[in-house]
Chains A and B, each alone.
Chain A
Amino acid sequence: MAVEWMNSLFGGALISLSLFVFAVINNIAFGVGDMLKNTLEREASISWNNQILFLIGLIISPVIFTTLFYPVSGKTFQNEPVILMIAGLLVGVGYKLCNGGLITRMVLLSTYNLKASIAVLILFLIFGGASQLIFMFLTV
């Protein structure tokens, strides 16, 4: 259990450090969702290249992690395809409307309006928990 907590703390620190340094050296406070959207829009620029490189690094990180440390593999999903489609759509729309997802809000929290970001994080948790409870109730 102690190892899991240490890993969680260390992992959070790495997430924060990497995204924060990326924001500083590229002069843009972007989350992964913003980078993905820019990539899809194909507006080629130096900034665009840097975002692509960040995303490539992110996507292949499990392969390098497995080579360097210990094997990681994909976990099984317990969702119906229609739920995955609806949830994906909601996450995409939600990200765009509130200008950042969970990790963007966590990491760039200090650069946003602090109170607004904390409120958004709490709303993520409340609606996340409520949706699971309602879904469980409906499927029982």
Chain B
Amino acid sequence: MRFIINFSLGMIFGFGLLISNIFDSTKAKIFLLGSMDWNLSLLATILSSIIVSIILLLLLKTIFQITEDSFLTSQKKSLDRYSLIGSALFGVGWGLTGLCVSTATLNLVFNQWESILFFVFMALGFYAPQFFKNLA
């Protein structure tokens, strides 16, 4: 049963990306650039997902008496220099192509060489910090 639920959740996540159209790399680029045809709908997606997650967390705390620590494992709580450097690097990569991790994964199904190339180098990037740490 849990397998079906997890599969369905992945599918719903994908539907969210498709309906909000943020899988389209040009949407993020237009938003970030603030050009003549500036469209703030990406901001609407960001805000609605933040509001829904806050509501869900409040519901979880009040109705089910579950604390947030119960499903948080190894998340960073504070803003350190790695987070700052990481967010700058992520922002530059996202700005150049309009793709983030989720949208790059979704775009794989369209079988375009550009999205596959991006995905391969993104996967390499996951291991780069550990690689350089081991070298040092």
Residues of A within 8 A of B (CB): 4-5, 7-29, 31-33, 36-37, 40, 49-51, 53-65, 72-75, 77-79, 81, 83-104, 106-113, 115-116, 119-121, 123-133, 135-136
Contacts and interface: CB of A to CB of B under 8 A. Distances in A.
A54 to B, nearest CB: 4
A110 B105 contact: no
A93 B114 CA distance: 19
Nearest to B118: A88
Contact of A26 (B6, B18, B39, B77): B6
Nearest to A60: B109
B70 interface: yes
A11 B21 CA distance: 8
Given A36-B105, A73-B110, A128-B92, A11 B125 contact: no
A94 B106 contact: no
6 contacts: A37-B126, A92-B93, A95-B125, A100-B75, A103-B101, A129-B32
A49 B10 CA distance: 13
Contacts of B95: 127-132, 135
Nearest to A136: B33
Given A92-B93, A108-B75, 9 more contacts: A11-B18, A57-B12, A74-B112, A75-B26, A86-B96, A88-B117, A111-B72, A116-B79, A123-B88
Q: SS class of chain B's interface: helix, strand, loop or mixed? A: helix
Nearest to A61: B14
Contact of B41 (A4, A62, A78): A4
B125 to A, nearest CB: 2
Interface of B: 2-3, 5-26, 28-29, 32-34, 39, 41-42, 44-50, 52-54, 56-57, 60, 66, 68, 70-73, 75-79, 82-97, 99-102, 104-112, 114-115, 117-130
Nearest to A68: B15
A10 B66 CA distance: 26
A17 B54 CA distance: 10
A28 B70 CA distance: 9
B92 A102 contact: no
A53 B7 CA distance: 5
Contacts of B34: 129
Given A29-B72, A31-B101, A99 B32 contact: no
B2 A25 contact: yes
